[in-house]
A and B are shown apart, each in its own frame.
Chain A
Amino acid sequence: MSWYENHGYIEDPFSTKKGAFIEQSIHLNGPTEELVYSIEAGNMMLIEGNKGTGKTALLFSAIEKFKGERKVIYFDCNTDEVDIKKLMQNKYGIVGKLLNLMPKGMVLMLDNFKKLNHKELERAKYYYDNNYLRSIIFTGNDSELPDNIRDRIGNRIIKLKSLTTSDAVELVRNRLNSLEFLPEKIIKKIYAKSKKDTVSFLESCGKTCKNATEAGESVVSEKNLGEIDG
């Protein structure tokens, strides 16, 4: 039995899976609106931010808005070689491949575009220019884009900042629904240790809670906190 089941949670409240608990990340509300607008209006957009600031979460919350239209392609360039043409044609299944169909007005989201080779970027640009792609959203670093794409983006860049300490507390409160088990003081300490990286922050929150439950304590104390460092 895992620690969170002991406390009555069905799933891990500190899950760091992509797109988990998006509806609860409040600090992304503004950027999401901006992103959804850009997709609607057909702009190219870049999302900048350090590791763990919620770039992927932002993409997922935008996907949530366009759910069911079969229009959005999300691709994490870190995991695999991307073939944009194939991705586009997959919309029509096997028939699309045979007849070489090309859907119009798709939305392409390229997560961590740094790993993408320039040939595919050029192809994406071509599809965008010819309106096969309504909009393209990149996440990653501004300086790694080739000039011609950089110019198309213009000033449409969302810069994500890392969480403030109060944001971090709010995040945990939203996920746990209460702060009785994990006091605010401890959260702040964990956050200070996680170097402003939300992913590692959530992971260490999970670890601390696990340690505390295993030790049979009703409230997480600083003692459990020490264990995550060691």
Chain B
Amino acid sequence: MADLWYWKLGFSSNPFNIKPAVLTNELAGIHVEPVLEKISNNEIQFIEAPLGMGKTSMLKNIISTFGGKKKLIYASCIKNECLEVTDLLKNSTLKGKLFGQVPEDMILMVDEAQNISKEDAKEITSYLEQGNIKSVVFFGIEYNKKLLTNHLNNSLNGNIISLPYLAPEEAIGVVRRRIGNLKLIPDYVIREIYGRSNGNPRRLLQNCEDICRKAVELSISELTITDVGTLLETTEPAAKKKSLKTKTKTVKKVKANKKNKTVKTAKKTKVPKKTEKEEKTKIKEKPVATVTYSGYNVENIRTYEEEMSTGKVKPEE
């Protein structure tokens, strides 16, 4: 592999790397200041957001502001496993390591808090009451009252923050910050890609990467909305996920009906339905193929509000 697409465009590494805040420490559409303020006010917070919305990026940002002072502990929850907060607290300072002394006024960050166990929650509350931990920030997909203790739930009151979906302007900002004013992707193309990414920054970056890679391979100098349609057709994760889901469904049904011999027919009838749907979507997209950058139809371009609604509606489904 001598020529990578981003080398051709003048980047030394992949500009659409999905690692949280790897290239810039900036956050798109997420405000850390209130969170930081609440930490210094010794409050307990829960930040909830779906996968890939920027929880870890935010966490990294917080760590970078408090890092190096031996005041912050980062822990990640794993299903059915103990967090061992005591050990974490003791190991955070040299005194604790040697004499088993538990330090005071620590800040605790709990990642993947949807997996937290009841015992861990109890442990955290007891340390909070003793003053060893002064502030806790939970990061999770969804806030669940049952997982935490009453004390934590009461102090969490009003401090449950859900991260907003990415707005189109912010999406353009994210991409522009990474690639600058690259001619390959005009703003309206980014908006189109954004419309296909469910308002999810990680999906957006992955889609951008796929598109740019293919565009460079096909030596397209400037992308159009049509290109997005044709290039993403094969790689669109939403479509893939749907097909995966239907596949698993059929597998399950096959398993359930193993004794019956009618399974084969059931399978056969299901397959054409999918293809029909796919064809329909293809047909819908085909007319757009005549539209080019120099004179594209206004009808085919979604407004901001429409994009916002599609971005918000899809994930809730």
Given A41-B6, A129-B19, A147-B51, A36:B81 Cβ within 8 A: no
Cα of A126 to Cα of B112 in the assembled complex, Å: 12
Type the 1/0 row for A89-131, where 1 means its CB is closer than 8 Å to any CB of B: 0000000000000000000000000000011001001101111
Query: How far is it, in angstroms, between the C-alpha of A42 and the C-alpha of B206 when the chains are bound?
Result: 11
A129 with B17: CB separation less than 8 A: no
User: Does B209 count as interface, using CB distance less than 8 angstroms?
Assistant: yes
Q: Which residues of A contact B18 (CB under 8 A)?
A: 43-44, 152, 154
Q: Is the CB of B209 within 8 A of A41?
A: yes
Select one of A36, A126, A130, A151 contacting B76, CB under 8 A.
Answer: A126
Contacting residue for A122 out of B51, B76, B141, B210, CB 8 A: B76
- Chain A residues, CB < 8 A from B209: 41, 43
Asked if A40 meets B56 with Cβ closer than 8 Å, knowing A129-B19, A155-B240, the reply is: no
Chain A-chain B contacts (Cβ-Cβ < 8 Å), number: 66
Verify A131–B206 contact, CB threshold 8 A.
no
B22 within 8 A of A: yes
Q: How far is the CA of A118 from the CA of B115 in the complex (A)?
A: 12
A154 touches B76 (CB 8 A): no
Cα–Cα, bound, A10→B19 (Å): 47
Shortest distance from the beta carbon of B234 to any chain A beta carbon, whole Å = 9
Contact residue among B4, B79, B236, B240 (Cβ-Cβ distance under 8 Å from A41): B4
Interface string of A37-59 (1 = CB under 8 A from B): 10011111000000000000000
A203 contacts which chain B residues (CB < 8 A)? none
* In the complex, A7 has a CB within 8 A of chain B: no
Known: A41-B14, A129-B60. A155 touches B237 (CB 8 A): yes
Q: Which residue of the partner chain B has the closest CB to A142? A: B244
Q: Which of A128, A148, A152, A154 has the most CB of B within 10 A?
A: A154
**Is the C-beta of A86 less than 8 angstroms from some C-beta in chain B?**
no
Chain B residues with Cβ below 8 Å from A36 are: 1
- Judged by a CB distance under 8 angstroms, whether A65 is at the interface is yes
Bound form: Cα–Cα A143–B20 in Å: 24
B73 → chain A closest CB, angstroms: 14
A95 to chain B, nearest CB (A): 22
Q: Decide if A151 touches B4 in the complex (CB within 8 Å).
A: no
A214 interface residue (CB < 8 Å to B):
no
Residues on A with C-beta less than 8 A from B22 are 131
Binary interface encoding of chain A residues 66-87 relative to chain B, with 1 for a CB under 8 A from any of its CBs, else 0: 0000000000000000000000
Q: Does B235 contact A (CB under 8 A)?
A: yes
Within 8 A of B (CB), among A147-177: 147-148, 151-152, 154-156
Known: A36-B1, A41-B209. A148 touches B19 (CB 8 A): no
> Which B residues touch A44, using CB under 8 A?
18
Say if the beta carbon of B134 comes within 8 Å of chain A: no
A147 to B241 CA separation, bound complex (whole angstroms): 13
Shortest Cβ distance from B210 into A: residue: A155
Q: From B22, which residue of chain A is reached at the shortest CB distance?
A: A131
Closest chain A residue to B200, Cβ basis? A151
Is B203 among interface residues, defined by CB-CB distance under 8 A? yes
Using Cβ atoms and an 8 Å threshold, which residues of chain B touch A155? 206, 210, 235-237, 240
A152–B4 CA distance with the chains assembled, in angstroms? 21
Given the complex of chains A and B, what is the CA–CA distance between A125 and B213 in angstroms? 25
Q: Are B240 and A37 in contact (CB under 8 A)?
A: no
The docked-state distance in angstroms from the alpha carbon of A155 to that of B237 is 6
Contacts of B112 in A (CB 8 A): 122, 148
A148 to B213, CA, bound (A): 25
- The smallest beta-carbon distance between B23 and chain A, in angstroms, is 10
* B196 CB contacts on chain A under 8 angstroms: none
In contact, B81 and A118 (Cβ under 8 angstroms) = yes
Interface centre among A41, A42, A125, A143 (most CB of B within 10 A): A41
Q: Is A217 part of the binding interface, using a Cβ–Cβ cutoff of 8 Å?
A: no
Closest chain-A Cβ to B112's Cβ sits at a distance in Å of 7
- Find out whether the CB atom of B78 lies under 8 angstroms from the CB atom of A42: no
User: Counting CB contacts under 8 A, is B202 at the interface?
Assistant: yes
Measured between alpha carbons, how far is A147 from B78 in the docked complex, in Å?
A: 12
Closest to A146 in B: B79
Q: Is A222 an interface residue (CB 8 A)?
A: no
Closest to A34 in B: B1
Identity of the chain A residue whose Cβ is nearest the Cβ of B76 in the assembled complex: A122
Given the complex, which residues of B lie within 8 Å of A146, measured CB to CB? 79
B186, CB-defined interface residue at 8 Å: no
7 sampled A-B residue pairs with Cβ under 8 A: A37-B4, A37-B213, A65-B1, A118-B79, A119-B81, A122-B112, A155-B237
Question: Sorted from nearest, which 9 A-B pairs have the closest CB atoms?
Answer: A151-B51, A41-B14, A155-B237, A118-B78, A154-B206, A42-B17, A36-B1, A151-B52, A122-B76
Other CB < 8 Å A-B pairs besides A33-B1, A42-B17, A122-B76, 11 of them?
A36-B1, A40-B14, A41-B17, A41-B209, A42-B13, A119-B78, A129-B20, A129-B60, A142-B244, A147-B51, A152-B202
